[in-house]
Structure 1
Amino acid sequence: MGTLLVAHGTRSEHGVAMIGDLAAAMTDRLRETVRVAFVDVLGPTPSEVLAQHGDEPTVVVPAFLSSGYHVRHDLPREVAESGHRSVTVTEALGPSPELARAMLGRLLESGWRRGDAVVMAAAGTRDVHAQGQLRRIAAALSALVGARVSIAFAAPSQQSEGYPAVQEVVSRLRSDGAPSVAVASYLLAEGLFQQRLRDSGADVVAEPLGLHPSVVRLACLRRSHAGLAIPAVRPAVETLP
């Protein structure tokens, strides 16, 4: 049985290293090798990695914080193109209460204090299904911080319809009288989007989720729960509900 961790891909060396480190942490915890692939920007692609390993039963864990276009369209296409006949694709990492707890942990590490206005900043998506999932995770974070959390996108608003850019939301909260504004990063790794959060003008900007224990635990749970449902041989691709 093999495990393949699939991420978006980034030109940031730190971002690529973080995905490799997450796979290594999963390897240690699961006691099996976890390989890595990327659906965009760089390789290897999921189809390339799967094709290299014949019909070894493989669990694919999407390292995405919501089930947007890449998870629901690109990843199934990659699996089909590989010709691999024994693949199960788990749910994406998000949404999950584990990620809300990870964001709270990062906020506390950054110096956030109760009473500060909180903005949850995601990468950005036009996918309405993924936007609905963002609202769910924002509601979970709101419950943890004890106040309504605003949603913003790190991508410019014209590139990701649905929510304004993080700088706009920070400015609005200040205009509304918030004495201090904190940004909770709903990003996995360092890169251009995380830098945009730091440039937003917020008083506090939390680090990316990265290798927070809740993230590692969640990734391993996705893999473990899939393994319970997989027979030795599977004739076609299956996506777990």
Structure 2
Amino acid sequence: MSAQPVLVACAHGTRNPTGRRLIAELALAARAQRPGIRTTAAFVDVQPPTVVDVVQGLADAGTPAVVVPLLLSGGYHVHVDIAGAVGAHPGAVAARPLGPDPRLAAVLTDRLREAGTDPGDPLTAIVLAAAGSSDPRSVADVQSTADLLQRDWAGPVTTGYGSAAKPTVPDAVAAARQAGAERVVVAAYLLAPGHFHDKLQGAGADGVTAPLLPDERIAAVLLDRYDAALASTRSGAAAAH
């Protein structure tokens, strides 16, 4: 790859206007942290342009690309949709998703504190609420994030899902209460507001945190994923020669 590849920030897609704005601002924040980098947006669902069309367009123009999934775990969208989009074009590569990462756990901790949650209270349970995937790799990634979060919390940290994986968030909240928690707070493991965040309000918890965005640390993670994918591509090219 000779030219500096375009960073294709590939999000899930949402109909929520605030969610759309925050995802757009994440790419702008990455450009502010790395002046001169070129970014463009793509989506795997709900809204255009699709990642397939964006990667195809860049390939047709002879422009190399690194697709960074703006996703918090590696499920179907990462391993099938995005992998398929880049697989057809030698000049395109996919980075790994944003999570798990200690910086995301740090943002979650800040959101929990903002919601009035005491990290030192052993009777406060945290349910890490993720969108959910039937892919076991995604579930493992979410559990890794829960393990990172647990380091900062005296009370138990468990996981709950919006769809496709078990337990559901309401079931995880109920289980935490049955296990003896006096207070249960849902930590929304979501980048931005949307359909799933709206549903969390009805999960029966004592509080629900705001999503992760906006936060400068997420733009830093995004750039690290881009750099790592680029480095592995270059080392692979050097080995081939």
Contact 1:139 1:148 in 2 (8 A): no
- TM-score, structure 2 normalization: 0.87
Partner in structure 2 of residue 93 of structure 1: 98
Letter of the aligned partner of 1:143 in structure 2?
Answer: R
Q: How does 1:184-223 map to 2 (within 5 A)?
A: 184-223=187-226
**Which sections of structure 2, spanning at least 5 residues, go unmatched?**
none
Q: CA deviation at 1:6?
A: 0.5
Letter of the aligned partner of 1:103 in structure 2?
Answer: L
String of CA shifts for 1:2-53, please: whole Å, max 9, x gaps.
Answer: 1100111122222222211111111111112211000111210112112222
Partner in structure 2 of residue 40 of structure 1: 45
Q: Is 1:73 aligned to residue 80 of structure 2?
A: yes
String of CA shifts for 1:170-226, please: whole Å, max 9, x gaps.
Answer: 223223332111111111110111111122221121111112232121111112333
CA distance in 1, matches of 2:176, 2:231: 46
Q: How does 1:1-241 map to 2 (within 5 A)?
A: 1=4, 2-31=6-35, 32-53=37-58, 54-80=61-87, 84-114=89-119, 115=121, 116-155=124-163, 160-161=164-165, 163-231=166-234
Q: Which has the higher contact order (CA 8 A, sep 6+)?
A: 1
String of CA shifts for 1:50-72, please: whole Å, max 9, x gaps.
Answer: 22222212111111111111101
Distance change in 2, residues 1:119/1:188 (3 Å): same
Contact 1:166 1:197 in 2 (8 A): yes
Note the aligned Cα RMSD (angstroms): 1.8
CA distance in 2, matches of 1:57, 1:78: 13
CA distance in 1, matches of 2:154, 2:144: 15
1:145 partner SS:
coil
CA distance in 2, matches of 1:41, 1:197: 20
Contact 1:58 1:86 in 2 (8 A): yes
CA distance in 1, matches of 2:83, 2:173: 37
Q: CA deviation at 1:230?
A: 4.5
CA distance in 1, matches of 2:39, 2:98: 16
CA distance in 2, matches of 1:226, 1:165: 33
Distance change in 2, residues 1:198/1:9 (3 Å): same
**Which sections of structure 1, spanning at least 5 residues, go unmatched?**
235-241
Contact 1:154 1:194 in 2 (8 A): no
Letter of the aligned partner of 1:128 in structure 2?
Answer: P
